[in-house]
Amino acid sequence: MTIGDTAVLTGRTLRHVTRSADTVITTAVTPIAMMLMFVFVFGGAIDTGPTRYIDYMLPGILLITIASGIAYTSLRLFTDLASGMFERFRSMPIARSGLLWAHVLTSLAANLISLVIVVGVALIIGFRSGADVLGWLAVTGILVLFTLASTWIAVIAGLTAKTVEGGSAFAYPLIFLPFLSSAFVPTASMPGPVRWFADNQPVTSIVDTIRDLFAEQPVGDDIRPALAWCAGILVVAHVLAMVVYRRKIA
């Protein structure tokens, strides 16, 4: 019953997204603008060794794309709560968890579309990858896991927000976190304390893993912390979101 309810509710939220396709486009516009700026304005001044800058920085842009997209998930959730939609659903014989999973799965679908758009633009301006099908599937799997983990954080924000602005403001730290990582510049060029933070935060291990997969290089020790960060955040955020949700509709 839970799966069936979730499927029906996901269809509802997906219809809302398709009716406002501008949200998907808007999600892609910001990271594309950043990508163009970094590649054509700052790229020549950043030393990434033998790796072309567009190939080096694309993994970070993909994470920023996801961070931009989940802000709309929080906003849609807040809107449903404010409109009394959850109260109406609560009176119906449907699985309560299906309401949240519908928003999470819609976020996943919308973000995958945005990611395809961003990668398409990256290919146009010169991005190239020697990765085979398994490599691209591995990259997709990491991005899906990161999207799910981030979306459950967005669910918590949407459930606890008091205003529309508050529902989406949480995404700003996630958008700027890649700038304090190896996403755009090697961490070796950073001052001591900043370098320590960059080397030990989730984004660095994730972007380094994706970068190695794109380049057909051994992923080394980066993949373990990358998967551990994503899985850990996903589990903790999911548990907290369900606790907040039960208190909210109690």
What DSSP letter does each residue of 123-190 carry, written as one string?
A: HHTT------HHHHHHHHHHHHHHHHHHHHHHHHHHHH-SSHHHHHHTHHHHHHGGGGTTTTS-GGGS
pTM, 2 dp: 0.88
Gap between the Cα atoms of 126 and 106, Å rounded = 31
The position carrying tokens 């051994």 is 218
Max CA-CA distance within the chain? Answer: 61
Q: Hey, is 95 helix, strand or coil?
A: coil
Gap between the Cα atoms of 98 and 113, Å rounded = 22
On the question of pLDDT at 1 being above 50, the answer is: no
More confident: 129 or 170: 129
For residue 205, with 0-12 CB atoms within 10 Å meaning exposed, 13-18 middle and 19 or more buried, which class applies? buried
* pLDDT digits 0-9 by tens, 26-45: 777 888 999 999 888 877 77
For residues 148-177, give the mean pLDDT.
81
* pLDDT digits 0-9 by tens, 209-244: 999 999 888 887 888 999 999 999 999 999 999 888
Lowest model confidence (mean pLDDT) among 12-26, 153-167, 213-227: 12-26
Gap between the Cα atoms of 56 and 229, Å rounded = 21
Q: What confidence category does residue 167 fall into, taking pLDDT thresholds of 50, 70 and 90?
A: low
The position carrying tokens 């072309």 is 52
Gap between the Cα atoms of 211 and 187, Å rounded = 15
The position carrying tokens 């984004």 is 203
